[in-house]
Structure 1
């Protein structure tokens, strides 16, 4: 109920921004902009290029705002939620932010010609950023689930949570294009706002914060000033950042640093591609919002099926190590990126999600590995650090992908996907190292088993 309405409104927001860029900022007129929206661009290629370039440049700074403020919040919110036991607020704030964004989009639709695309995008991004956005929502949900989950079942249950989030994408994308054509901007934003309101009521009235977390007795809050002091506590900041540099057995510090590197190499290209995917298929294959909606739904359904297959078969039944899931997932991603980079037809574009069907367990494997490297009392902090690294990626990768897309627009628009493949190769090597370490750990554990009565240690080793 969070991901689905967010995605439902996302495509409508992109079309609203494209329409404003064409009609309001560039002033091309109804004939040109209507033709571009209906994908009848044969006589308007120059105008389409100008719209694409304007939107790409706006989205570059949008990503900085969208991730910069949540990055600051992530420095403190994980340790704060550990100390106070307040996981629920980490879920409620992003819901409020998305609801308010829908209201602002309705206002910007009503004031269509009065508000240019730059201000529309700014209002679209600033409220979710101030309330934490998706990153804080994920921190809250994963921390809440980790509070009630054992290590033995964590990979599988985190996988189910990720799968539930993933399912929201095809539902939202499948409905967005159709509803936009039938109900228009007002209808789509109104439905999304209603879903967020229902979600808020469910979280507020049905979920309860746990009370056993560390230092719970020290969290009495007396007024706003006291709250701000406790939230922006630099000791908590040191504790959160110190997780990555804290020494421990079996190269703990190195392993956590490699996990965070893997997060960068996975989420960076993912965020970069999301930033340009719609305008890429719109330009390269002349797709409209309905075609893109159908493709996105198809892609995410395959993604969900692959994730379910991986966690149920490889993880639950076969007991495969997290690193194996990661290697399979990242290899699948590389193959899919190569397919779409050189795609010339719609069929070839549709082949890409099929090739990378197993690319759904990278984040699951990374989260599971990270959670098993720390003590139970450090779970909130490690997820905060995980989320912090994730929030920083669009700051770096979204401008890179936008600039590369504009630079290669008339040469190879799919060059951005070659960049994704290049970034993913080191991620495969990281998972390979983790698998090697896992085998070494298992061997050492077997050697530590005491010999049975009457047998010598040498005999036991052999």
Structure 2
């Protein structure tokens, strides 16, 4: 009886040991697989959560400080009840658009200078972790600057928020976000509606990134160029729906249509790593980052000029201008796809003829 009890306890102990070994093995495997994903994920999550708050703060600063409107006007605009203050609402949007016109170019200068040297430096010295930490420090300082702007709500103007929110983080190389002055897609668009819309957009974007990568890469095995073409096409369709919107419901349909558009950046960088040698990956990514830093510095002022000059006639003009740009991108991607396909066919033919020539030489030598 004692032997049987001892045997059962020994078996249970062995089962516990095996179970703990399996768990430890899975944890170690998970640690090997996971690299910078949690860091990047929480960084993006922080940006997503803070963006609606900063957008509302811009409206409040422009209304209360820059334009000097009273609490009745500002509270009505911020609450979404601005039908009796439509002129004031448009003036607020114009002030914000003008601030974005100088904010984006200025915030792009410092990251551009950092990016010029960061890629080759990290390749030479294999020193990459500090470049993950610097943007986080910059955005923490930007968040603290936003808190100071709230504390000094009625004294610090919109321009101070523009500097603390974006210029200070840019000193640490934070990512350049294309901020377009399209907060009024339709006539009755409100700050509250925009906050809900922005939250839904950020949530759908996160879902699209998670599910889109699994669908295209793991299940369908789609190539990078085809992913680029699909995401660009969805951008076009989404923007057409957005530009023609006459109700909030249509805006959310546009969000759903463009759920995978953010995969464009991932596919673009993935494709860039496959067409260069491993020694030049850092330089290639630096080149892409440089273009991403320059593009907002040029496009945001252009978009804001278009928006300010068309807000009275048709606020969606900037949206259809984006459709035009994305159409050009689609044509270039299609050209790259067929060029790559033709180049592959030529190489296959060359290899075929070479192989045939080698077989002929071998047969002659054998004879």
The two structures have a TM-score, normalised by structure 1, of 0.64
Which of 65, 87, 95 is equivalent to 1:24? 65
Q: What is the CA–CA distance in structure 1 between the aligned matches of 2:117 and 2:211, rounded to whole Å?
A: 36
Q: Secondary structure at the match of 2:255?
A: helix
Which of 158, 174, 188 is equivalent to 1:285? 188
Q: What is the CA–CA distance in structure 1 between the aligned matches of 2:358 and 2:301, rounded to whole Å?
A: 67
Q: What is the CA–CA distance in structure 1 between the aligned matches of 2:164 and 2:216, rounded to whole Å?
A: 44
Q: What is the CA–CA distance in structure 2 between the aligned matches of 1:98 and 1:361, rounded to whole Å?
A: 23
Question: Which residues in structure 2 correspond to 1:54-453 (within 5 Å)?
Answer: 54-134=95-175, 271=178, 274-277=179-182, 279-281=183-185, 284-289=187-192, 291-447=193-349, 448=351, 451=355
Contact 2:184–2:190 under 8 Å retained in 1: no
Q: What is the CA–CA distance in structure 1 between the aligned matches of 2:209 and 2:48, rounded to whole Å?
A: 19
Contact 1:285–1:346 under 8 Å retained in 2: no
Larger radius of gyration: 2
Structure 1 residue 416: Cα displacement: 0.7
Q: What is the CA–CA distance in structure 2 between the aligned matches of 1:25 and 1:297, rounded to whole Å?
A: 27
Q: What is the CA–CA distance in structure 2 between the aligned matches of 1:443 and 1:402, rounded to whole Å?
A: 46
After superposition, give the CA deviation of every residue in 1:190-219 in whole Å (9 maximum; x if it has no partner).
xxxxxxxxxxxxxxxxxxxxxxxxxxxxxx
Structure 1 residue 312: Cα displacement: 2.9
Structure 1 residue 395: Cα displacement: 0.5
Q: What stretches of structure 1 move > 4 A for 4+ residues in a row?
A: 304-310, 449-457
Structure 1 residue 362: Cα displacement: 2.2
Q: What is the CA–CA distance in structure 2 between the aligned matches of 1:394 and 1:453, rounded to whole Å?
A: 54
Gapped runs of 5+ residues in structure 1? 136-269, 458-462
After superposition, give the CA deviation of every residue in 1:152-181 in whole Å (9 maximum; x if it has no partner).
xxxxxxxxxxxxxxxxxxxxxxxxxxxxxx
Structure 1 residue 14: Cα displacement: 2.0
Change in CA separation of 1:384 and 1:297 when aligned onto 2, cut-off 3 Å: same
Q: Secondary structure at the match of 2:282?
A: helix
Change in CA separation of 1:300 and 1:430 when aligned onto 2, cut-off 3 Å: same
Structure 1 residue 35: Cα displacement: 1.1
After superposition, give the CA deviation of every residue in 1:362-398 in whole Å (9 maximum; x if it has no partner).
2222212211121101111110110010011111111
Q: What is the CA–CA distance in structure 1 between the aligned matches of 2:260 and 2:49, rounded to whole Å?
A: 25
Match of 2:26 in 1: none
Contact 1:65–1:125 under 8 Å retained in 2: no
Structure 1 residue 436: Cα displacement: 0.9
Aligned residues: 318
Structure 1 residue 309: Cα displacement: 4.8
Gapped runs of 5+ residues in structure 2? 1-41, 362-367
1:13 paired with 2:36, answer no
Change in CA separation of 1:65 and 1:301 when aligned onto 2, cut-off 3 Å: same
Change in CA separation of 1:109 and 1:383 when aligned onto 2, cut-off 3 Å: same
1:40 paired with 2:81, answer yes
Change in CA separation of 1:439 and 1:371 when aligned onto 2, cut-off 3 Å: same
Looking at both structures, which has the greater relative contact order when contacts are Cα pairs under 8 Å and sequence separation is at least 6?
A: 1
Contact 1:322–1:365 under 8 Å retained in 2: yes
After superposition, give the CA deviation of every residue in 1:97-126 in whole Å (9 maximum; x if it has no partner).
111111122222212222222222222222
The two structures have a TM-score, normalised by structure 2, of 0.80
